[in-house]
Amino acid sequence: MAHCSATIYQQVTLSGDDEWPKVADAMIEAFFRVLEQQGVPLEDLDIKLREIAANYKMLLERVRTLSTDDPLAAQFRETVATAVQEGDFDRAEQLLTEAQAQDIASAQELQDIVSKRLLTAAKARVELAHLYEIQEHFEKAEDAYKTAISLLERISDNRVPALAQTLKEYASLLRKLQRHEEADQLALQAKSI
């Protein structure tokens, strides 16, 4: 097989066939290593090699078109592209796996920050509702509770006690306004949390 691969390699590199992607010798050698590992029969080498080349070309294009505003991510993209060009698929896989893990961790950190800010904003809105209640501006108090609830519902983690408490306080306001049916619905919703 190695002798056949070398012969085809020479034919491919010397043929000047425009269908073959213009790749570095190292990449073509990597193609043949893949073919040898897969045990591709001699009669299927041409087809399989073209398939690998097309997949390689598509992968390289995808890596190069990854958009980013982050200079470090752009540098990373180039490192992955270089690994792919050199046929170092193990390195490219490692880099992409590391990038995914870092991006997931960063996204979680950002989500935590957003959740904390939404919680803080909701608490401020509840305090505003209390202020309106004291002044008997009940319509404004109701709007403030609704806004606080909306903010708390956007939090994706386990800060539901704040939501339950806000629903109870809003229900209390509705009872003061003799809107018992709505208050009971809110109380039930709070209990279900």
Nearest-angstrom CA–CA distance, 47 and 40: 10
- pLDDT score of 9 more than 60: no
Nearest-angstrom CA–CA distance, 97 and 177: 57
Taking the domains of the chain in order of start, what are their residue ranges?
2-87, 110-191
Mean local confidence (pLDDT), 44-54:
77
The least confident of 6-10, 65-69, 112-116, 154-158 is 6-10
Write down the pLDDT at residue 35: 67
Residue 17 dihedral angles phi and psi, to the nearest 5°: -60, 120
Give the global pTM: 0.59
Q: In this predicted model, which residue has the larger pLDDT, 59 or 28?
A: 59
Which residues 6+ apart lie within 8 Å of 147 measured at CB?
Answer: 122, 125
Residue 99 to residues 40, 86, 92, 95, Cα–Cα distance (Å): 33, 19, 10, 6
**Tell me: the pLDDT tens digits for 134-152?**
999 999 999 999 999 999 9
The residue assigned the tokens 């190069």 is 64
Whether 35 contacts 48, CB under 8 Å: yes
**Tell me: the pLDDT tens digits for 64-98?**
676 666 677 777 778 888 888 777 888 888 988 88
Nearest-angstrom CA–CA distance, 133 and 111: 33
Write down the pLDDT at residue 101: 86
Write down the pLDDT at residue 66: 66
- pLDDT score of 167 more than 60: yes
Which residues 6+ apart lie within 8 Å of 1 measured at CB?
Answer: 36, 39, 42
Q: Which of the four CATH numbers 1.25.40.10, 2.30.130.30, 1.20.1640.10, 1.20.1580.10 does domain 110-191 have?
A: 1.25.40.10
Whole-angstrom Cα Rg for the chain:
31
End-to-end distance of the chain based on CA atoms, in angstroms?
66
Write down the pLDDT at residue 25: 61
Q: How far is CA 89 from the centre of its chain?
A: 22
Q: In this predicted model, which residue has the larger pLDDT, 28 or 140?
A: 140
Instruction: From 15, 43, 10, select the one nearest 28 (Cα to Cα).
Output: 10
